[in-house]
């Protein structure tokens, strides 16, 4: 994948996630469970971030605490990681899979926390939501509105229990986060192998942690 395209997509993705954390979510009440769950979760994160700012504790460590507490429980990190690994996950040991899951979720939290300071008052407008005929997959549609442009996005969730849904993918302007991450990992594994790519991810995570 073209590095410039990948970087642009990552910035769009992170901007979208960050705007969800901060936006006021001033929307009408709905009875749709997946949409309601998304709104409630990000509403809590928003309030936690506001409180950090009010207490002058808006730093990387505190932001990560909020994200680990309120974001990770909303994501099916195992499904995200294994889908991102694609064909390579099939022959991995369970231990290696768990190591990848941990490394990828740390990367997500580090990236979101780092870029949170770049939030620029984007507004999230929820449009609609839909549930598949099977009742197991839901999509929440929204617009990301800034001063100069509007981007469309879709949050995809899977049903875990009757009243619990987990996010497994985010699509911005038709581009899937899972598919993008899969392309990045496939390229790296083709060059460095499964173990080499895992070590690369772990080294990157450790370097970020050591500088904070």
- The confidence score (pLDDT) of residue 146 equals 77
- The confidence score (pLDDT) of residue 172 equals 80
- Indicate the SS3 state at residue 51: helix
Parts of the chain with a pLDDT under 70: 1-32, 111, 114-122, 124, 212
Q: At what angle do helices 33-54 and 60-70 cross, to 10 degrees?
A: 160
Instruction: Label residue 53 left, alpha or beta by phi (over 0 means left) and psi (-120 to 50 means alpha).
Output: alpha
Token pair, residue 171, equals 């699509």
Predicted TM-score (pTM) of this structure: 0.74
Single out the residue of 118, 179, 114 nearest to residue 146, CA to CA. 118
Percentage of residues of the chain with pLDDT beyond 90 = 34
| Coarse DSSP helix, strand, coil percentages of the chain, rounded to the nearest 5 percent | 60, 20, 20
The contacts of residue 54 (CB under 8 Å, 6+ apart) are none
Whether domain 3-205 has CATH 3.10.450.710 = yes
Token pair, residue 181, equals 């991450």
Q: Give the containing element (helix H, strand E) for 103.
A: helix 94-115
Structural domain boundaries in the chain: 3-205
Single out the residue of 193, 127, 131 nearest to residue 158, CA to CA. 131
Token pair, residue 53, equals 């700012």
**In terms of C-beta distances under 8 Å and separation of at least 24 residues, what long-range contacts does 40-45 make, across chains too?**
41/70, 41/71, 41/74, 44/70, 45/20, 45/21, 45/70, 45/71
- The confidence score (pLDDT) of residue 178 equals 87
Strands (E), the chain: 123-131, 137-145, 150-161, 164-172, 175-176
């Amino acid at each position: 994948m073209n590095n410039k395209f990948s970087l642009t997509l990552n910035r769009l993705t992170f901007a979208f996630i960050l705007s969800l954390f901060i936006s006021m979510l001033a929307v009408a009440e709905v009875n749709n469970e997946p949409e309601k769950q998304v709104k409630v979760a990000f509403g809590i994160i928003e309030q936690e971030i506001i409180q950090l700012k009010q207490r002058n504790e808006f730093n990387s460590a505190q932001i990560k605490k909020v994200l680990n507490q309120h974001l990770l429980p909303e994501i099916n990190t195992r499904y995200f990681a294994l889908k991102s690994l694609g064909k390579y996950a099939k022959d991995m040991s369970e231990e290696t899979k768990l190591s990848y899951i941990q490394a990828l979720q740390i990367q997500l939290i580090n990236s979101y926390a780092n870029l949170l300071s770049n939030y620029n008052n984007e507004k999230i407008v929820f449009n609609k939501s839909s549930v598949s005929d099977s009742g197991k997959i839901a999509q929440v549609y929204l617009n990301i509105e800034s001063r100069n442009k509007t981007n469309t996005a879709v949050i995809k969730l899977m049903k875990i229990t009757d009243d619990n849904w987990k996010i497994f993918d985010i699509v911005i302007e038709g581009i899937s986060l899972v598919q993008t991450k899969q392309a990045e990992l496939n390229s790296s594994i083709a060059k460095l192998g499964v173990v080499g790519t895992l070590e690369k991810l772990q080294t990157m995570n450790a370097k970020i942690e050591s500088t904070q």
